[in-house]
Structure 1
Amino acid sequence: MSGFSDGKELDIARNIKLIEELKGSILTDIANLYVHMAKAHSQREEIEDDIAEVIINTYLLSSRLGLNCSDIEELVVKKLKIRLLKEGALDFDIKEILDYFEGQ
């Protein structure tokens, strides 16, 4: 085998390892979020931190999978618009998130 082939195999193995680590991190972040939401004395900052970690690791995983973050954000906007149509204009949470994404 040539050195190029060995390097490519190492890159593939490294990428697979990173993908698995990110998947595990996302699950851990979600578990932490559940724990903090279940505790009566949890601070808002703990929950915000957990959600931020889920979002960051999801973006990192998307990138590792070869996906474009702006394409994902466009899809989020489309899905929010569909939800807004289905659930009605009175759903302020969806409208607020949609306004955030469209304002970026």
Structure 2
Amino acid sequence: MASLAISCQSNVLPKVKNATYSSYSNADQKGYWVEFELSHDSIAPKSVVLNNILQEITPENKTDKKFKVNVIAQSTAIFGFKPKLVEKENGIYFVTDTADVFRAVDFKLK
């Protein structure tokens, strides 16, 4: 029964469009800029996974239905920084009424 609920929820999740990423590296930080657009925003994205790094999505990452998220891989600017590593394919976690639901996303390199 639980799989049916999750299956039904994933049918109402927004479609992910224009999903891209680009890497960056400067003197004190390395990471990725992840960008995507959603078909609707009635179910909020919670976090993004890229290259096994989980990065929370904040309100500052959102402009209308478009998102731009800084996925930090390494940083000497942030004391004691360690990226949150997960064994998960690239994608987005969404928050529903009953659970966090993961949708795999094929982010394209810009």
Give me the TM-score of the superposition, normalised by structure 1.
0.23
Answer 1 or 2: which has greater helix percent. 1
Answer 1 or 2: which has greater strand percent. 2
Q: Over alpha carbons, which structure has the higher Rg?
A: 1
